[in-house]
Amino acid sequence: MVARRPTRTVMRLVAALAPAALLAAALAGCAPNDFPQSTFNPRSEFAGMIQSLNLQLIFWVVLIFIVVQTLLIVAIVKFRARPDSPEPKPVHGNTALEIAWTIAPAIILAFVAVPTVLTIFKTQAKPVRTDLVVKVIGHQWWWEFQYPDLGVVTANEMHVPVGRTIVVDIETADVIHSFWFPAMGGKRDAIPGRPNRIWFTPDTVGVFPGQCAEFCGLSHANMRMKLMVETPAAFAAWVELQRRPPAGGGAAPDSTAAVSAAMALAPAPAPPAGSPAARGREIFGQSACIGCHTVAGLSAGVLGPDLTHFASRTTFAGSLFENTPDNVARWLTDPPGRKPGALMPNLGLTPEQVNALVAYLESLK
């Protein structure tokens, strides 16, 4: 059977669409500097090392692509079939050519392998210094951040000072997760029974989104987080606020031990009697809430996020929703309906109870 040659119409169509396809592919790889989760916009020395390696690899990939496509086009044009052309003659191997196309890829692979291995060793090495340690625990489907040297625990929003080296110890409370702030560096898996670690030194103040990068269940895509990179003074003020009982009340203790004791024993200032917040506190203390959540001096649940300073956060539910009274009310009405697979059950709260709980939660600053 003789293969049919493509018609001229088909060839023209391919020739017309090829530039458009290449342009679309090029544009798909472009992203502005403020793209939410771009690894091509490094904001730490760790991410900078990965970016440098990326650019080197892109150079070689583009170079190889250009060379191969050029040779392909030359071969197509020069050796294309022509009317009444004779049958092509068999050509035996060319020793020099075979040696060349064996050595050339080996050299290119060396240029790729050496910087790759060096970058791996640099990013896996211990940091030169450690300014702050943060323990990260992945849960289905939210993040817990503990600051062991500061006596602070929060959820979904990680605060760090700019210009300081942050060492992140990573664990999981259930299945495999993956800790990833694209602007700060590579991913690190949270594996059951196997603590992991990553470090970075942020160089820019701002808010950077993060994401669980390992499929972990129904709401994997909704397991988000935020990194708040602040000036040292702003970070110190945040720490002081977190070390107080909710809504202020009392000076911050001087030692980590004192902080732990205060957070465990000091009750939050009671809302004004008869206020919606007071009613919400009563409902919180009498419902299943206290079995899963911690509020300093009121409950000590560990299954869900610590709510001691809930109102000081900008988001909740794995950074899925903005922390507004309306969103909190919708969440309390039907958590699984708002976030598929959410482990927080629908408690069947009445509208009055929901409004009271919202008032209470929004008072926990």
36-76+94-242: CATH architecture: Sandwich (2.60)
DSSP sequence for 67-119: HHHHHHHHHHHHT---TTPPPPPP----HHHHHHHHHHHHHHHHHHHHHHHHH
For residue 322, the model assigns a pLDDT of: 95
For the record, the structure tokens of 14 come out as 């391919």
The amino acid sitting at 3 is A
Measured between alpha carbons, how far is 74 from 126 in angstroms, rounded to an integer? Answer: 51
* pLDDT at residue 8, as a whole number: 64
User: Cα–Cα distance between 345 and 347 in angstroms, integer?
Assistant: 6
Which among 178, 158, 155, 161 has a CA at the least distance from the CA of 301? 155
* 23 Cβ neighbours under 8 A, 6+ residues apart: none
Domains 36-76+94-242 and 256-361 alike in fold: yes
Contact 231, 161 (CB under 8 A): yes
CB 329 within 8 A of CB 355: yes
Query: Cα separation of 220 and 214, whole Å?
Result: 8
Q: Give the bridge partners for 210, in sequence order.
A: 225
- What pLDDT does 258 receive? 36
Q: Where are the domains of the chain?
A: 36-76+94-242, 256-361
pLDDT tens digit at each of 365 positions of the chain: 444 555 666 566 666 666 776 676 666 656 555 556 778 888 999 999 999 999 999 998 999 899 999 989 998 888 887 887 788 777 778 888 889 889 988 998 898 999 999 999 999 888 888 999 999 999 999 999 999 999 999 999 999 999 999 999 999 999 999 999 999 988 999 999 999 999 999 999 999 999 999 999 999 999 999 999 999 999 999 999 999 887 633 333 343 443 344 344 355 566 777 788 899 999 998 888 888 899 988 888 889 999 999 999 999 999 999 999 999 999 999 999 999 999 899 988 999 999 999 999 999 98
CB 164 within 8 A of CB 132: yes
**What span, in angstroms and rounded, lies between the C-alpha atoms of 300 and 99?**
71
Strands (E), the chain: 132-139, 142-147, 152-155, 157-161, 166-172, 177-179, 188-190, 196-200, 206-211, 224-230, 294-295, 299-300, 315-316, 321-322
Strand partners, 132: 166
CA distance 141 to 345: 14
The CATH code for residues 256-361 is 2.60.40.420
Both tokens assigned to 347: 């408690």
